[in-house]
Structure formats: structure tokens, C-alpha cells
Amino acid sequence: MVNGIRIATVKWVLILLSAGFACAQTDAERERRLIELERKVRQLDPSYVTPASQNFDERLSALEQRIDQLLAARTNPPPQEAALQATTALPLQAVSISGDYQASSEAETRLPIAGYMDFHVNKDRGEPARPDFHRFVLLFGHSFSDRLKFWSEFELEHSLIEGGEETGEIALEQAYIDYLIKPWLNFRGGMVLTPVGIVNERHEPPSFNGVERPFVETTIVPSTWRELGFGLTGDLGRGFRYRSYLLSSLDASRFNAENGIAEGRTAGFDASFRNPAVAGRLEWAGVRRATLGLSLYTGKTGFNLASVNPRVTLASIDARYSYARVDFRALFANTWISQARELNEVLERQTGFVQNVAKQMRGYYFEPAFHVLPRRFRNDVILFARYEKYNTQHRMPEGYVPLTQFNRSSWVTGVTFKPNADVAFKFDYVFNRNASTFVRNPDSLNLGLGWWF
Amino acid sequence: MVVLMRKCLLLFFSVCALAAAADDSKTAKPDKTISITAERFAFTPGRIKLKQGMLVEFVITSDDTDHGFRIPKAGIDAAIPQQGKGELRIRFVAREKGQYPFECSRPCGAGHNVMRGLIVVE
């Protein structure tokens, strides 16, 4: 803007001076003033070169031509400036946008897709190390309008899919449409993540410590747990947010003693909506860097079983908080399964094995973490320790004895190094224990490299 | 000639005054400065109340990855640098009363679509 005014001013002065020159000034004076004008134009446009000709009129018209070009260039201002100029008629009038990414060479190249990857090397005590490109995930989104948006997540696990052999898996983790009505009321439908716990909806590798996701959030709360469904989401104000869905059922025919309900996820394949489950989560994030969450899931799960239709109810409470250079997160979850005895009897008849499904499962963990480097450093080094207690045999139905090897606890201790907020090198050592005197739960050493883009 | 000179000077000073006024709102102390934190998948605070006519500055930082900050009713869409890479500063004048949503404009994960907030101008 100011440059434009300067150019216009120079042009006006040029016209006025040239008019004046014609009638009143000496040749020497006119020459001096023309040189001065040429100098000023060069300040505005360093590429301007004085014409080789010594003719006064030619030099004057060259000056005029260059000023016209400069003015024409100013008619199309840079995009950000143009955007700001265009906002003068809007109810919120933008004045300036500045910051560390604006016009910075540090700004990342933006792709039209996002994604995350997770590469692990796991070594259980007494076993060889196992490298595994665990997850390669691409995320696609699209805005049909300001109100209608699409989001999806497409995953390849363990790097290889081959027909008829036990290999990795390719899966649709999310694919849903959001219809944004009001801040407190939005509709969502499609393949959605069940809104339970911390990690299920926030599972990008740099967003949690430890090479593997917490045990509690893979056994007691399945992860990644997604179902077909629809529901409402919204921001209720004062830091409260909610999500509530009707979802396809878990499949009780795949419950077992070791992993509880986790294997019962249908993940959208051969799913049932005969008895849709209800899932909801209420979050409070009213204080900066603090989040409290309450989650509830309940639904009948017997659509693949003839004579029993057990109800699964899962409740969890979780918290995340950061203060100065210390982070803290914790979660407690409890699962109830009705008709557990009848379910075990039916499963034993179907499979020939006693599945020993519990009527209650319980798990909790807490994790303090400390950022070693001061905030001003570009890199981040996080030391953490996580204690987990998870028991998929917490309460057994009448006539069934708990398998104590599935009453487990772990100390996960390690370090996360982030050369960039979206890239995490992870190392941890896991001290695994269980309540059994016969079956050992071996310790493990894990290395991981995960990134998000 | 003198009349022409006067007109030119008048035009010159008018344009300079306009430019100075525009620069003032860029450099003047804002009536309100608000720090906003962006983190998957929420802005904190998520609701911001302003008075009509205020010159407001948002200072926005991320606690994790890159996010975007878009206010459709202000024609603003800018990048919020990831944690540790600085901040985004946005100044605007709340000209009219109303409720104006803002949202993340850079895909950031499962809750990206509803990573939104609300500016309420009273």
C-alpha cells in the first residue's frame, strides 16, 4: 500500500516537473531533476536501467513507462495482502497475519493428504528381535462445503498382504461424513472410531509415549476400535465436548480369556445393526493443557450366537495434564459382560475349547513424563514411566476359575526423542509380570520410529 | 498550474493519511490479546467473547503438530506452526455483532473436522 502511494506520488511529481520543465527551467536544471527522478525510480525498482539515449524526451518516456509497469504490478498485490484487503466488507475485518510460519523457509510442504507410519523392533526376553513395519496409514479428507466434510483413514499393517497366508492386513479405519449444524450439534455417520479412552481416537505415534500403545488400551479398551454407525458430536461450551453414536455390535463369538472383548471388533466387516450399541464420551478441556474424559459403551453382542445375547458395558475415565515440562496421563476402565456363564458354554460347544470369558475385566494405568530439554529447544527428549495393571479375568462367572496369567501388570520405562514434533524415535524396556506361578510374561525391549505428516 | 499543484498535494496527503491509518491498526496496541492453544482436536479456549469494534490479536501456538487457523467470516486462513516452531499472530477488528466459527484448516487426525471454536462478538 505504502509502496503504491510512493509510486503514485513519484509519477505525479514527474508529470508536474516535466510540465514545469517545459516552460520555465533551464536545460541544466531539467537534467539534474531528471537524474534525481531516475535515481528514485531505481530505488523502487533496482532493475531499472537508464536508457542509453541522451535524449531528454526518450528518457522521460522510459521513466513513465517503468512507473506504469510498477503501478500495474501493484494492482495485483500478493495473495495474503489481497486477502486482507478483501476482508474490509466482512464482519470480522482482518488487519494483519504474521508469525513464524508466514513467509518462512521452515514451513513444511503441504500435501493434500495426511498420514502416519510406525516402524518397530520388538525383542522379548529369550526370543530373537522382530522388526516390523507395523503401520502405514494414509488419511484423506475433503470439504464439500463449510458444513459438509469427509474424513478417512486407510491402513496397511505389517507391510504385506498376500492371499491365503497369515500376513498383514489392509483396513478401513475411518470413513465418515460430518454435517456441521451448530457448534453444539453436528451429525456424523460412516465408519467411526468408538469414542472410548485416550488412544483410540488419538493414536498417531508422536502423540503417545512408548513403542506400543498402552496394554490397557489394547486389551481392556480395544484399539483401534472402529464400528459402523452414526451419531452426534458437539462443543457444549465451557470446555465441554461430547460424541455419542449408535454403533454396530461387538461379536461375542470371538471374545476370549486373554484379550477380553478386543477380538470382538467387527471393524465394519460382517457387522450387525440388529441390536445397535450406544457409545458416548464427554470431555472437559476447560483449563489449558488439561483434559478429563468419561466414556461409556453398552450393547448386545450375540448376533453370531444362537441362544445367548450378552450385553457388554464398558466405562472408562481418563485424564491428561501438562504443567511446565511435566506431562501426566491416566486411565481407568472396567468392562462388564452379562450372561458370561452362558456365553462360555455356547462358545465351548462351538469351538471345543473353554474360552473362559470373564464377567468383569479391569485395567488402569498412569504415566508421568518429563521433558528433559527446556521449551526453547527445537528438539524434545521425554523420559517416561508407565505403570499398567490389566486383568481380563477380574471377575469370573459361576463355575469358572480365573486364569491368573491374564492378571497382568507392566512397567513401561523409556525415552522418546523428537527432532521434530511430528517425528518420534522411541525406546523402552517393559517389565512384564503376571499373577501366575507357572506361565511367565517375559520382559521386552522395544525400539520404534513413528511419524506423522 | 497552481490549482493542479494544490489538487495533487491534497490527493497526496489524503492517500498518506489513509496509509497511516491502515498502518496504525497493524502496529497499535490491540484492545485485547488472546492466547489460543491448538492441540488435536481442540482449540483452548474454544469460545471467545469480544466486544464490537475491538481491535483483537490472537496469538496461537500448537501443542503438537501443524494446525491451520481459518475464520471464514474474516477471510483468514493461516498456518499454525507445530510445537516448538513459534506462533501465529492474527489481528482483526470485530466490526459486527454475531457468532463466527473458526476451525482447523490443516488435516491433523481423526477429529480434524470438528476441531472448531466460536468467536462471539457482542
B20 against A412, higher pLDDT: A412
Q: Are residues B80 and B23 in the same domain?
A: no
Could you confirm whether domain A114-452 is CATH 3.20.20.70? no
The yes-or-no verdict on residue A12 having pLDDT over 70 is no
Contact check, Cβ <8 Å, A288/B85:
no
Question: Given pLDDT bands bounded at 50, 70 and 90, which one contains residue A407?
Answer: very high
Lowest mean pLDDT across B4-18, B23-37, B59-73, B99-113: B4-18
Structural domains of chain B, count? 2
pLDDT digits (tens, 9 = 90+) for A270-325: 888 889 999 999 999 988 889 999 999 999 999 999 889 999 999 999 999 999 89
Question: Given pLDDT bands bounded at 50, 70 and 90, which one contains residue A148?
Answer: very high
Q: What is the pLDDT of residue B18?
A: 45
Q: What is the mean pLDDT of residues A81-100?
A: 71
Among chain B residues, CA nearest to A207: B64
Give me chain B's average pLDDT, please.
Answer: 83
A335 min Cα distance to partner chain B (Å): 25
Q: Are residues B20 and B44 in the same domain?
A: no
- Residue spans of alpha helices (H) in A313-406: 340-351
Q: Are residues B15 and B59 in the same domain?
A: no
pLDDT digits (tens, 9 = 90+) for B70-88: 998 888 889 999 888 889 9
Q: Are residues B85 and B101 in the same domain?
A: yes
Q: What is the pLDDT of residue A79?
A: 53
ipTM over 0.95: no
A81 against A167, higher pLDDT: A167
**Contact call for residues A178 and A189 (beta carbons, < 8 A):** no
CATH number, domain at B111? 2.60.40.420
Q: Are residues B85 and B63 in the same domain?
A: yes
The reply to whether B75 touches chain A by the CB within 8 Å rule is: yes
Q: Are residues B75 and B101 in the same domain?
A: yes
- Write out chain A residues lying below 8 Å of B114, CB-based: 178, 180, 186, 233-235
Q: Are residues B9 and B40 in the same domain?
A: no
Q: What is the pLDDT of residue A23?
A: 46
Q: What is the pLDDT of residue A10?
A: 56
Q: Which chain A residues in 55-84 lie under 8 Å from chain B, judged by CB atoms?
A: 83-84
Q: Which residues pair with A431 in a beta bridge?
A: A411
Name the residue range of residue B19's domain: 1-29
Q: Are residues B57 and B110 in the same domain?
A: yes
Burial class (CB in 10 A: 0-12, 13-18, 19+), A319: middle
Q: Are residues B78 and B49 in the same domain?
A: yes
The yes-or-no verdict on residue A178 having pLDDT over 50 is yes
What is the per-residue burial (b if ≥16 Cβ within 10 Å, else e) of A198-230? bbbbbbbbbbbbbbbbbbbbbbbbbbbbbbbbe
Q: Are residues B44 and B81 in the same domain?
A: yes
Q: Are residues B12 and B64 in the same domain?
A: no
Q: What is the pLDDT of residue A28?
A: 80
CA distances from A86 to A359, B41, B74, B102 (A): 63, 30, 9, 18
User: Which residue among B47, B93, B106 places its CB closest to the CB of A237?
Assistant: B47
pLDDT digits (tens, 9 = 90+) for A373-396: 988 888 899 999 999 999 999 999
Contact check, Cβ <8 Å, B63/A207:
no
Q: What percent of chain A has pLDDT above 70?
A: 85
Q: Are residues B101 and B69 in the same domain?
A: yes
User: Which residue among A19, A285, A375 places its CB closest to the CB of B42?
Assistant: A285
How many Å apart are CA A226 and CA A173, to the nearest integer?
6
